[in-house]
Amino acid sequence: RRRTGNGARKVSVMSTSCAQAIKNWETTSGEVAAEATFVKLYCQIPPILKLDNALNSLVNCERLALSTNAIDRLIPLNGMKNLKILSLGRNQIKKIEKLDDVADTLEELWMSYNQIGSLDGLQGLNNLQVLYLANNNIKTWGELDKLAGLNGLRDVLFVGNPIYEGFTKEEARIEVLKHLPNVMKIDGDLVKPSERAAAKGGEEEG
């Protein structure tokens, strides 16, 4: 019985460390991770559960793919001075945080299919252009107002969040525009002039 219990515990914590994932990627790609601009650590088997400091050895990395793991939280990325695209879709992240070190370089953040309920933690990302947060847990439209200072934000994905419940696709798009009037693309489709006018008209009426 005791052996079975220990075995079950071992299975539950089976995971790949970031250092091991980086090593595996170097072996399969033939690249040196510290020199590479695009590092792919997605779909690890067993999955990455925790991010760790090994990521900060990726000093040249401009695009880091960590999607489809079981990551539960972010860590400071103070070694990644060139990071432009961070892909963390299909994980178990509940909170956007600790992105201060990449605030000046990060242009795209892909975090669809997580458990994020708040848009805190994004306000300082001054160069952010793309934000993918489909299928998360955003429940109030007021959360989008936290992105108002991100003047470069152009492409957003929010479909599949509780905020869309009770709205048609068209109504949801107009509601996004009321909060983020400068975006050019919502949920994969370009914003039409008629949608922009509708959003503006709604504001005036309100």
pLDDT tens column, 45-62: 999 999 999 999 999 999
The reported pTM is: 0.91
Give the chain's length.
206
Of 19, 72, 59, residue with least CA distance to 41:
19
Instruction: Tell me how crowded residue 79 is: count the other CB atoms within 10 A of its CB.
Output: 17
Q: Are 87 and 61 within 8 A, CB to CB?
A: no
CA triple 58-131-145, angle to 5 deg: 130
Q: How much is the mean pLDDT over the chain? A: 93
| DSSP per-residue codes, 26-66 | HHHH---TTT-SEEE--S-SSPP-S--GGGGG-TT-SEEE-
**Continuous segment of H or E residues that includes residue 203:** helix 193-205
pLDDT value at residue 202: 66
| 154-180 residue pLDDT tens | 999 999 999 999 999 999 999 999 999
